[in-house]
Amino acid sequence: MKKVLIGLLLGAAAATCEAALGETTTLWQNGARGIAVYRIPALCTAPNGDLVAACDARKEGGGDLNHAKPINISIRRSSDDGRTWTDAVNSWTWPWSAEERWAGSDPSFIVDRQAGKIFLFYNVWESVKQRGIYQFYVQESADNGATWSAPRNITKDIAFPAWPFGKPDSAGGFIFITSGSGIQTKSGKLLHTIVHVNDGNALFGSDDHGKTWKAMGNPVKNGDECKVVELSDGAWMINSRWRGGGRQIHVTRDGGRTWQSRYDTTLADPQCNAQIMRYGKTLLFTNCNSPSRRAQLHIRASLDDGATWGEGLCICPGGAAYSDMAILKNGDIGVLYEGAGYATINFVTVPRADVVAEFFNRK
């Protein structure tokens, strides 16, 4: 696939997104392979430089995990920076019968470059024997996403008393791991986010390269689907979907024990999952750049740890939703996103130089 040159957004951040230039590759399309709906993208760069992409394969319809429909995690890989991709396979196929109905949803990755492993997380729901209680599972790959271990239940490991883990929706138990990507910090710690819907955010992670997982610190109020990034001074920042047309920001400098929070109105957002990540001295952010519509997907850059942001480059001018990012072997940025009104999951390459140049032009 050719490198994609993304058109420069002219005007204010909330202005209409002009048509983006370049090509996209559709990795999943609704109806393909007998799957009604594909949703919830996740993307990572494996230790050997391959790309690994994942999403929900929702066999019987578009409903989320708690709709009690069969869902598995679909995986595709690329060894040439996204020009070609392997056929889709399930990371695991959950049993679905009259006796037990399991489903797994909301994939997310953490790449442990020190251990040479990829960890794949998702939320699991069983509606017969388990009575619809949210559970949290992880698989791991030591061969750059080609094969995956059996799923391991880490629900009790990452639970903490402040939230009603193990309770049904009706008792406030709507708790889940955010889809997309977690991080490995400079110290080697693996770090991820978990959400109590309509309430707040929290962190969990591992200090031993995924042998064990644990809750970290305390939850913070006001937050939904979110991502964590390490700032230049070693602090951790959560960037979260929230109400009001902007993004909720939480920062901790003591491992999540205490938090400083603010609401960022410069990052317009329609209450949709987004992605933030560090690339050298730059923070990159993808989301739907609108306070009310899941559309106008942009990528934006910050050179001051998220205090200010460039106005962004347009990736998809029409309907779009969840997105994730990864750094390619050639240094460009791969973006995986929901497009065409949830009908497709697409991959596009954005030259890093264009993103950073846009930031300086706007400054």
- pLDDT bin (cut points 50, 70, 90) of residue 271 is very high
| φ/ψ (deg, to 5) at 34 | 75, 15
Q: What is the pLDDT of residue 169?
A: 87
Average pLDDT over residues 2-9: 29
DSSP 48: T
**Helix-, strand-, coil-residue percentages of the chain, each rounded to 5:** 5, 45, 50
Q: How confident is the model at residue 131 (pLDDT cuts 50, 70, 90)?
A: confident
* Res 353: pLDDT: 80
Is residue 159 within 8 Å of 215, Cβ to Cβ?
A: yes
Mean pLDDT confidence for 136-146: 98
Q: pLDDT for 194-247, tens place per residue?
A: 999 989 999 999 999 999 999 999 999 999 999 999 999 999 999 999 999 999
The 10 Å Cβ neighbour count of residue 207 is: 14
Query: Where does residue 101 fall: left (phi above 0), alpha (psi -120 to 50 degrees), or beta otherwise?
Result: beta
Label residue 354 by pLDDT band (50, 70, 90): confident
The tokens describing 257, both together, are 């024990």
Distance between CA atoms of residues 165 and 163, nearest Å: 6
Q: Tell me, what's the pLDDT at 2?
A: 29
Taking the complete model, does pTM exceed 0.85, yes or no? yes
State residue 124 phi and psi, 5-degree precision.
-125, 140
Total residues belonging to the chain: 363
Query: Is CATH 2.120.10.10 the classification given to domain 25-81+89-362?
Result: yes
- Cβ contact 210:231 at 8 Å: no
Per-residue pLDDT, averaged over 163-178, amounts to 94
Q: In the predicted model, what is the mean pLDDT of residues 343-359?
A: 85
Ranges of each domain in the chain: 25-81+89-362
Model confidence band, residue 362 (pLDDT cutoffs 50, 70, 90): low
H or E stretch including 23? none
- For β-strands 236-241 and 226-230, DSSP reports them as antiparallel
Read off the pLDDT of each residue in 12-34 and give the average, rounded to a whole number: 69
pLDDT at 358: 66
Residue bearing the bigger pLDDT, 132 or 173: 173
pLDDT of residue 8: 26
- Return the closest-CA partner of residue 118 out of 190, 214, 216: 190
State which amino acid sits at residue 332. Answer: D
34 vs 206: CA distance, rounded Å: 37
